[in-house]
Amino acid sequence: MKSILCLALLSTAAFAADYPRVIFSDEFAADGFGKAWGHYKSSSEVKGGVLVGITAPTSDHSAVDHIRIEGERDLEVSVKFRFVSDKAKSFNVWFDDKNYKGSHAGHICQASIAPTGVTVSDAKTGGFDLTGGLYDRKKANQLTDEEKKMLATKAAKFPVKLSLEEWHTLVVTTKGEEISVSIDGKAVGSFKSPGVNHDTKSLISLTTNAVDVEYDDFSIKGVAK
């Protein structure tokens, strides 16, 4: 048990050493969102010391709550979360660049967290790539077999088992072409793909699919300059 705890502490210390510079943080201590937060089709609230992720029942898009930063390549996003009930399906941590016009909505890469699995993906050169109409054909279910095979190489899935109602700590990092995920100090998995190596990730989002996910102690950190 001691050796496992030591490994977890070493892993956490390694992340802290790699990303020592705090770009943004929010403990949600006051009710209501701070001025830095932006939103897209979100009914989320900050109350009782947590961010309550809410997608309105009438919405055609999951609730997005985001922070804009100066564009950087290598970032660490940390957030505490809990799935309040079995109505909670998943949430995403997105890294985007709204000035990049080569992918839908400037999507670059993401980590999707569900109670039974984690998916990480390269959106820039994967399923959101606008080159040659790929994204539009995907939406219309008109992909060729070769395109389907290619897109399968743009994501990786890892099994997890996350208890409902309990708080967990998620850390998502990007470093060059690699995006990595740890939960509660334990490595879940990492994935390398060219699109992750985007120099100006400038919009970091929490996307709630669809309700009953709560968040706390959110932070964005960068490498030393």
Q: What is the pLDDT along the chain (225 residues), one digit of tens a residue?
A: 444 334 444 444 445 579 999 999 999 999 999 999 999 999 999 999 999 999 999 999 999 999 999 999 999 999 999 999 999 999 999 999 999 999 999 999 999 999 999 999 999 999 999 999 999 999 999 999 999 999 999 999 999 999 999 999 999 999 999 999 999 999 999 999 999 999 999 999 999 998 999 999 999 999 998
pLDDT attached to residue 13: 44
pLDDT attached to residue 175: 98
- Cβ atoms of 104 and 125 within 8 Å: the answer is no
pLDDT attached to residue 6: 45
- Cβ atoms of 176 and 206 within 8 Å: the answer is no
In whole angstroms, give the CA distance from residue 147 to residue 127: 10
Q: Which residues of 76-90 are buried (b: 16+ CB within 10 A; e: fewer)?
A: bbbbbbbbbeeebbb
- Helix segments in 44-196, DSSP class H: 134-139, 145-152
pLDDT attached to residue 16: 58
The set of residues, in sequence order, having a beta carbon less than 8 Å from that of 162 and lying 6+ positions away, is: 83, 113, 114, 115, 116, 168, 183
pLDDT attached to residue 199: 98
In whole angstroms, give the CA distance from residue 41 to residue 96: 17
> Could you tell me the two tokens for 94?
């997105």
Q: What is the largest CA-CA distance in the chain?
A: 53
pLDDT attached to residue 17: 72
